[in-house]
Chains A and B, each alone.
Chain A
Amino acid sequence: MDETQRRVEEIRKQSSELENHIIDQLIEGKITRRDFVRRGTVVGMSIPLLSFIAAACGGANETATGASGTSGGAAKPGGALRTATISPAAALDPLTVADEGGLMVLGQSGEYLTWTNDKLELEPRLSESWSSNEDGSVWTFKIRQGVKFHDGNALTAKDVAYTLNLHADPKNKGNALSAFGDPGGLSPGGAKALDDATVEVTLNGPNGSFPYLVSADNYNVIIVPDGFDTSKWDKTFMGTGPWVMDTYSPQQGATFKKNPDYWDTSRQPLADTSELRFFGEDQARILAIQGGEVDILSQFQVVGGGAALLNDPNIRVHEIRAAQHRQIHMRTDQEPFKDKRVRQAMAFLLDRPSLITGLFKEKADLGNDHPFAPVYPFSDLTVPQRVGSIDQAKQLLADAGMSSGFSVKLSTWDNYEIPQLAQLLQSAAKEVSINISLNVTDAGTYYSDFWLNSPLGITDYGHRGVPNVFLTAALGSKGTWNAAHFKNPTLDGLIVDYVSALDIDSQKAAARKIEELLLDETPVIFPYFYFHLSATRSNVTGIIPTGMGHLDLTKTGFTA
């Protein structure tokens, strides 16, 4: 036995049963190195340790996915970064922020227990390490010591427990409530500080992905001091992060300076200052980076002027495969969509590869009418892809006794490529005598009046590191976002199986069953999962975006 093998054996002796199971899966070739690292981070193993084991034990390689276009030479220290972001939609309160503009700001000065990187691996942040009990219903987080809030007070486990319980309490009107919902959810009081450096979180049931729910993916849960009134957060931008708020004007922007007491020496900001400029309109943001008014564009869409950036020699585009998508729901409890053959026919109307080319210039993955995006390691991509076919749609309608077609109203809202998607569906539906009338409103009207009450609608969903909330809230029988009103006990059971699964084999097995069930029942059409796109001027390097919409600017700087 050589030295490497001896060290691996030692590691295995000190590892839990679950950790050893994951190592076994790697050795047996059941998971790739990437999946091994990704899954290992979830159960609390560090990336250096996982990398060592992966190198020592081999395992299948795979083509890397994730951010691209990040090359461009080394960044020089200093300088003032200017980033164009979407205007936060409302007050910057960590409890209630529900939009990409708002979460971008939270992530600058605030920090999470864990961080989901562009490969969907979990990196430790304010939690140094974490582990679970055998069934994943109790998670213990070791809280990093020596961390200070921007007001100089030390971070303790009490702050963490307070923050988690704050978000889990329905009385507080928090946006993270949906992520902390059952199965495997968190109730108020579920998080307890055992001592200054340990937080124990007792969940309502097993949840194998809970560390993702305290990561930057669940963007509301930046750790705030014990007793902090989050409605006043925009006065201070209180947090422990690398950037400290200098100035803030609602609707206009915020400026940040370096945090001199930042705990992570490897992530001290390179630039001297960072400015977020808020833009209400996509077009204005795109023009701003093209005109050199800003150095960085946090996010853009191909539709709406973004296509111009893809071939601009002065701009470097950064793309990340992500799980953000549109859901075309059909009310399964009402005609004309009670019969699953009618729903399947609707799904066959879409020529998905053409949608990806036309609407996204190839910057998207195909959807297969379930929320398991190709970017997830536990998605089973061997389930046959649904391919558009007007003939098949006609046949299904005939089988359902609907060959003469019907009329239905499609409700949605006016942003991004959504109206175009609605028009394309409307146009394809004419070929099978389905007359779709469009009801395109503003976001507020759609979500207030039509989202959960429309026979047919299109809703936008942001990225998540795990699809739990898509499953529980949008497809579960008791889901609060279940616009299709789909109630299927078998699916509910499979969702519980999936959420509680601790190893990737069990997750994949449950995922496959869910994928097959949803493909067959088709309560919702998932036409595509589009990439997260951000951009920099060509003299800027080192941005670290995430699929969720965060932007880590600590390593960002100018090359010239």
Chain B
Amino acid sequence: MGRFLLKRLGLALVTLLLLSVIIFVAAQLLPGDVGRAILGPFADQRAVDELNEELGTNRPIIVQYLDWMRGVLTGDLGDSYAFNRPVEDLLWPALEKSAKLALLAFLIVVPIGIFGGVAAALKEGRFRDRVISIGGLSATAIPEFVWAVVMIMIFGLWLNVLPVTAQAPAGADFFTQVEYLLLPALCLVFVLFGYIARMARAGTIEALDADYTRTAFLKGLPRRTVIRRHVLRNSLLPTIAVVATQVGYLIGGLVAIELIFNYNGIGQLIFRAAQKRDFPLLESAVLVVGIVYLVATLLADLLYSVVNPRIRLTASES
């Protein structure tokens, strides 16, 4: 296990390094001028030039990158160009918000998705299976921003039962925060339900066909016990992988949802940083999303090995 973890950690560091280089180079390719983006269209050109000089954005790319990397390695993410304050001040609150939304969405969609998938698999090819499979697939095919508009219209404006923004007032209690996050979380549930249910369904069908399931039935074990002990445990494997890969999307990829619901998560932060050519903020935010993604997939692998010990052995031996 130790070797497995070390190997994964090493791979993660290489991935993050590559990610940081790609983002830095991509950010340089963005058209426009940092000083102009910050000072606004009508700022005097002399002022723009002076600001670029002050920020060092007119230095060679490699110098800028190494300078930024040196800071990161010493725990200093630098200052946001646009907001003239430490990146940490903007990044951590945004990450916290994204994590809250992702958590709520997961807490709703994972049990429902697994339950739906298993329920469909147990009635494979019958009406219930078709409703869940086709319904889930259709919901997934609709982009989240379309869901957002539909949900806002129905629950926010027509029925007026849920807030149309996701940002709870300052000092709001736990339940108020959940109330504000419910609509965006439901949009994500619709988008993710199809994936998770499909994986759970496929895993369940495979497990139901497996020899060990047949043996369990032949032993005379009750159907409920067979499903709980033998089928569910094995059917969850592909579901875990799907859930883990969606973590990165849920933490950093919800730009449209965050914009529509005016939620200042990390997706919106990345979007704004790219618009402003705010390299320190953009780099750090993307790197954090990358770390979250890598940690999530690592945890999924560990969970995999807990659920199925054969995976752990294979990884250790390789």
Are A and B subunits of one complex?
yes
In the complex, A280→B201 CA distance in Å?
Answer: 40
In the complex, A96→B48 CA distance in Å?
Answer: 11
Residue of B nearest to A251 (CB): B264
Q: Is the CB of A291 within 8 A of B33?
A: no
Q: Is the CB of A448 within 8 A of B31?
A: yes
Q: Is the CB of A247 within 8 A of B170?
A: yes
Q: Does A334 contact B (CB under 8 A)?
A: no
On chain B, the residues within 8 Å of A99 by CB distance are: 40
**Chain B 37-48 near chain A by CB (<8 Å), digits 1 or 0:** 111111111110
Residue of A nearest to B40 (CB): A98
Q: Is the CB of A291 within 8 A of B262?
A: no
On chain A, the residues within 8 Å of B41 by CB distance are: 98, 443, 446-447, 451, 459
Q: Does B182 contact A (CB under 8 A)?
A: no
On chain B, the residues within 8 Å of A473 by CB distance are: 42
**Chain A 458-499 near chain B by CB (<8 Å), digits 1 or 0:** 010000000000000100000011000000000000000000
On chain B, the residues within 8 Å of A407 by CB distance are: none
**Chain A 374-392 near chain B by CB (<8 Å), digits 1 or 0:** 0000000000000000000
Q: Is the CB of A448 within 8 A of B38?
A: no
Q: Is the CB of A448 within 8 A of B260?
A: no
A235 to chain B, nearest CB (A): 9
Q: Is the CB of A175 within 8 A of B272?
A: no
In the complex, A481→B33 CA distance in Å?
Answer: 17
In the complex, A292→B164 CA distance in Å?
Answer: 8
On chain B, the residues within 8 Å of A25 by CB distance are: none
Q: Is the CB of A91 within 8 A of B82?
A: yes
Q: Does B157 contact A (CB under 8 A)?
A: yes
**Chain A 95-123 near chain B by CB (<8 Å), digits 1 or 0:** 01011000000000000000000000000
Partner of A448 from B37, B82, B85 at Cβ < 8 Å: B37
Q: Does B165 contact A (CB under 8 A)?
A: yes
Once A91-B83, A93-B84, A175-B42 are accepted as A-B contacts, the answer to whether A287 and B157 lie under 8 Å apart by CB is yes
Within 8 A of A (CB), among B77-105: 82-85, 89-90, 93
Q: Is the CB of B39 within 8 A of A173?
A: yes
In the complex, A446→B37 CA distance in Å?
Answer: 10
Q: What is the total number of residues of chain B having a CB less than 8 Å from a CB of chain A?
A: 45
Partner of B31 from A89, A93, A285, A441 at Cβ < 8 Å: A441
Q: Does A370 contact B (CB under 8 A)?
A: no
In the complex, A255→B261 CA distance in Å?
Answer: 20
On chain B, the residues within 8 Å of A251 by CB distance are: 83, 90, 264, 268-269, 272
Q: Is the CB of A292 within 8 A of B160?
A: yes
Q: Does B32 contact A (CB under 8 A)?
A: yes
Q: Does B277 contact A (CB under 8 A)?
A: yes
Q: Is the CB of B40 within 8 A of A284?
A: no
**Chain B 202-226 near chain A by CB (<8 Å), digits 1 or 0:** 0000000000000000000000000
Q: Does B238 contact A (CB under 8 A)?
A: no
Chain A CB count within 10 A is highest, among B40, B170, B259, for: B40
Q: Does A215 contact B (CB under 8 A)?
A: no
A257 to chain B, nearest CB (A): 13
A174 to chain B, nearest CB (A): 7
Q: Does A445 contact B (CB under 8 A)?
A: yes
Q: Is the CB of B44 within 8 A of A177?
A: yes
Q: What is the total number of residues of chain A having a CB less than 8 Å from a CB of chain B?
A: 50
In the complex, A285→B89 CA distance in Å?
Answer: 25
On chain A, the residues within 8 Å of B93 by CB distance are: 249
Q: Is the CB of B32 within 8 A of A175?
A: no
Partner of A444 from B33, B42, B264, B268 at Cβ < 8 Å: B33
Q: Is the CB of B32 within 8 A of A448?
A: yes
Q: Is the CB of B157 within 8 A of A90?
A: no
Q: Does A532 contact B (CB under 8 A)?
A: no
On chain A, the residues within 8 Å of B156 by CB distance are: 287, 291
Residue of B nearest to A252 (CB): B264
On chain A, the residues within 8 Å of B261 by CB distance are: 284
Q: How many A-B residue pairs have CB under 8 A?
A: 137
Q: Is the CB of A284 within 8 A of B262?
A: yes
Chain B CB count within 10 A is highest, among A99, A280, A290, A443, for: A280
On chain B, the residues within 8 Å of A275 by CB distance are: 169
In the complex, A445→B277 CA distance in Å?
Answer: 10
Q: Does B275 contact A (CB under 8 A)?
A: yes
Q: Is the CB of B82 within 8 A of A90?
A: yes
Q: Is the CB of A291 within 8 A of B260?
A: no
Chain A CB count within 10 A is highest, among B31, B160, B268, B277, for: B31
Q: Is the CB of B268 within 8 A of A277?
A: no
Q: Is the CB of A287 within 8 A of B31?
A: no
Q: Does B51 contact A (CB under 8 A)?
A: yes
Q: Is the CB of B42 within 8 A of A178?
A: yes
In the complex, A306→B233 CA distance in Å?
Answer: 52
Once A250-B83, A284-B165, A290-B164 are accepted as A-B contacts, the answer to whether A480 and B45 lie under 8 Å apart by CB is yes
On chain B, the residues within 8 Å of A280 by CB distance are: 259, 262, 268, 272
On chain A, the residues within 8 Å of B275 by CB distance are: 442, 444
Q: Is the CB of B164 within 8 A of A449?
A: no
Within 8 A of A (CB), among B250-275: 259-262, 264, 268-269, 272, 275
Q: Does B167 contact A (CB under 8 A)?
A: yes
In the complex, A275→B171 CA distance in Å?
Answer: 13
Q: Is the CB of B164 within 8 A of A291?
A: yes
In the complex, A287→B156 CA distance in Å?
Answer: 9
A496 to chain B, nearest CB (A): 21
On chain B, the residues within 8 Å of A178 by CB distance are: 42, 44
Q: Does A134 contact B (CB under 8 A)?
A: no
A248 to chain B, nearest CB (A): 11
In the complex, A480→B93 CA distance in Å?
Answer: 40
Q: Is the CB of B36 within 8 A of A444?
A: yes
B154 to chain A, nearest CB (A): 12
Q: Is the CB of A293 within 8 A of B163?
A: yes
Residue of A nearest to B278 (CB): A90
B182 to chain A, nearest CB (A): 14
On chain B, the residues within 8 Å of A247 by CB distance are: 170
22 contacts between A and B (CB under 8 A): A90-B40, A98-B42, A170-B47, A173-B43, A175-B39, A177-B47, A247-B170, A249-B93, A250-B90, A251-B269, A252-B264, A275-B169, A279-B262, A287-B164, A291-B157, A293-B164, A293-B165, A444-B36, A448-B33, A449-B31, A449-B33, A480-B45
> What is B's interface to A at a CB cutoff of 8 Å?
31-33, 36-47, 50-51, 82-85, 89-90, 93, 152, 156-157, 160, 163-165, 167, 169-170, 259-262, 264, 268-269, 272, 275-277
Given A96-B39, A444-B37, A444-B275, 7 other A-B residues pairs in contact with their CB atoms under 8 A: A98-B42, A175-B42, A250-B90, A251-B83, A255-B170, A280-B272, A292-B160
> What is A's interface to B at a CB cutoff of 8 Å?
87, 89-91, 93, 96, 98-99, 170, 173-175, 177-178, 231, 234, 247, 249-252, 255, 275, 277, 279-281, 283-285, 287-288, 290-293, 441-449, 451, 459, 473, 480-481
